[in-house]
Structure 1
Amino acid sequence: MWVWLTILFSGLLHINAAYRGPKWQFYLFKPLTIVLLMCLMWQHGLTSFYQQAIFAGLAFSVVGDVFLMLPRDRFVQGLAGFFVAHVIYSIAFWSQLSASMVWWLPAMLFGGGVIVFLLLLPSLGKLMAPVALYIAMITQMAWAAGEFWLTTQSMIGMVAFAGAVMFMVSDTVLAVNRFRGPFTSATAIVMTTYYLAQALIVGSAIL
């Protein structure tokens, strides 16, 4: 319980610093929150392939976080870090399937991904290809988590899928804020859903 409270407090300090400062608090607590989740997993033990994959995904998420928060624009590098994280998460989720896949789920998820891409398209410019690839990957990751849940009917699968959906919400709001125009509450929404997504994915590995 205390570890989870520490993680929550770290995330709140980052969100608060994004609006009120100081800068050092903003830079410290964004990656530290994910590092604390990694420490939680390490303490719990990385005994299965699923746990090891989630741990590796968190590590690449830290890389993405660092690039995205740098003063100079490192959006593509940050995108690449999270792209790799989603590849690893996907492998973890697909490894847990135990029955035939459900085909209505990818149709629904990829339909939503196409809508988001079309919404962003007029403002993407040279970033059209990287953003399209990223949307495809995170949608595929959510599909993998959804299949994990639907084929196993397990609490672990449900928690993983909830985390994947929160990740999609976070990245969608981030993209709208960046490409369609910034709005005040964006950072709070993006980071709250992001930390919740990572916490749920970690939860699926230690339940």
Structure 2
Amino acid sequence: MGGHIIGYCAAALCMAVSGTIYGRWKGKKGNKELVFKALATSMAVILALEAAWNTDSPHRWLITAGLVLCMAADVLLELKFLCGVVAFGCAHICFLWALLCSSEIRLYTVAMTAAMYLIFLAAFAKCLPQLGALKVPAVIYPALLCGMAALAVTYGIQNQSFHAVTMAAGGICFVVSDFILARRYLMEKKERWYGIAVLVFYYSAVYLIAL
């Protein structure tokens, strides 16, 4: 157990350092800072891969696949935004698949999904007409995200293991991160704290999902 704690702490430290470098270099080094953005997420991939290798469970392998897609999406999002959105959508499909293998959908799962999705739609409905080709992904992606987060919470309630609880927390962090990102992107919020909050919640999300 001690070895696992050291590994968790080392991964968290590397993620924090890499994420900080990316945040400081963003927009100043061409695309070089994307290496550190992906490197930060790779710490979560390594943790998930170790767990998948040790347990050899479909749930863990699907989580690993989803995190690999997140790492790819980190880079794609800034090179070609739509490709990044699609990659993140595929990541959430992997997470959903993993959770469906390990938990059962309840009425409260559907209610949570609907509530979070309606909050997204209500917050950004006025911005949809101006999105053009991104309008359809902007409607579909939050549905996948909210469904994943609700099912992650369901998984946490039904299993109550360490991984189940961190998965639930990770799902919620993902929603918060993407909500702030959408607000920043669609409403052109330039305040520095928006960018910091997005990174903190996003890296917390992938780290917690990997545990």
TM-score greater than 0.5 by the shorter chain: yes
The residue aligned with 2:132 is 125
Letter aligned with residue 4 of structure 1: A
- TM-score scaled to structure 1, two decimals? 0.85
Deviation at residue 117 of structure 1 after TM alignment? 4.0
CA offset digits 1:113-158 (Å, max 9, x no partner): 3323425324323321111011111111112112112223444322
Q: Distance in 2 between matches of 1:201 and 1:36?
A: 12
Q: Distance in 1 between matches of 2:101 and 2:123?
A: 28
Letter aligned with residue 97 of structure 1: S
8 Å contact from structure 2 (residues 44, 210) kept in 1: yes
- 41, 57, 66: which is aligned to 2:48? 41
2:206 aligned with 1:198: yes
Letter aligned with residue 84 of structure 1: C
Note closer, same or farther for the CA distance 1:53–1:106 as it changes in structure 2 (3 Å cut): same
8 Å contact from structure 1 (residues 123, 179) kept in 2: no
Further displaced range: 141-150 or 97-106: 97-106
2:28 aligned with 1:28: no
Deviation at residue 110 of structure 1 after TM alignment? 2.8
- TM-score scaled to structure 2, two decimals? 0.84
Unaligned runs of 5+ in 2: 1-8
For these two proteins, the number of residue pairs brought into alignment is: 199
- 81, 96, 101: which is aligned to 1:90? 96
CA offset digits 1:52-72 (Å, max 9, x no partner): 0111001111221111122xx
Deviation at residue 23 of structure 1 after TM alignment? 4.1
Deviation at residue 194 of structure 1 after TM alignment? 0.8
Deviation at residue 100 of structure 1 after TM alignment? 4.8
Unaligned runs of 5+ in 1: none
- 128, 144, 152: which is aligned to 2:159? 152
CA offset digits 1:5-29 (Å, max 9, x no partner): 122211121112227x444651210
8 Å contact from structure 1 (residues 120, 175) kept in 2: no
- Mapping 1:40-79, distance limit 5 Å: 40-46=47-53, 47-70=56-79, 74-79=80-85
What SS is found at the alignment partner of 1:183? coil
8 Å contact from structure 1 (residues 86, 138) kept in 2: yes
